[in-house]
Amino acid sequence: MKLFNFFLSVIFIFIFTIANSSEKQSELKNKISKNIRCLICQGQSVYDSQSDFAVSVQLMIEQKLEEGLNEDEIYEFLKDLYGQWIVYDPEFNKNTLILWILPILLFLTGGAIIIRKLKIKKL
């Protein structure tokens, strides 16, 4: 009986581990495909689209995950094939510098103005 229980728990743990890892992989696949632009659709991600292109890209993402590539490596792989445009998140480079810096600058300036105003009021 003890042996039976032991085997049962081993099988249970095994199934649970497999199910958990495949669920994690599927979540990651969805996350990546949501950040990949469907290049032949109007404003849709690969995740949202059912076009041949999107379906094939999703399959490719799945294959690459199975090969052991991580999220960033998959983005790099697709960027190498289709260019920067394929990812929704723009890369930090000299062309996108303003795009990344401007919101931070605005936030800091706004914050500074508010603090100053509050200080003046207190005085």
Residues that bind other proteins (CB under 8 A): 39-40, 52-53, 55-57, 59-60, 63, 81-83, 85, 98
CB atoms < 10 A from the CB of 2, how many?
6
> What is the nearest approach in angstroms of other proteins to the Cβ of residue 1?
48
Q: How many CA atoms lie within 13 A of 104 on its CB side?
A: 5
> What is the nearest approach in angstroms of other proteins to the Cβ of residue 63?
6
User: Smaller CB distance to other proteins: residue 19 or 105?
Assistant: 105
User: Smaller CB distance to other proteins: residue 20 or 63?
Assistant: 63
88-123 in b/e form (b: 16+ CB < 10 A) is eeeeeeeeeeeeeeeeeeeeeeeeeeeeeeeeeeee
User: Smaller CB distance to other proteins: residue 28 or 60?
Assistant: 60
**Burial of 24 per CB tally in 10 Å (0-12, 13-18, 19+):** exposed
State which amino acid sits at residue 41: C
User: Smaller CB distance to other proteins: residue 9 or 63?
Assistant: 63
> What is the nearest approach in angstroms of other proteins to the Cβ of residue 95?
11
> What is the nearest approach in angstroms of other proteins to the Cβ of residue 19?
25
Q: What is the Cα–Cα distance from 79 to 7, expressed in whole angstroms?
A: 47
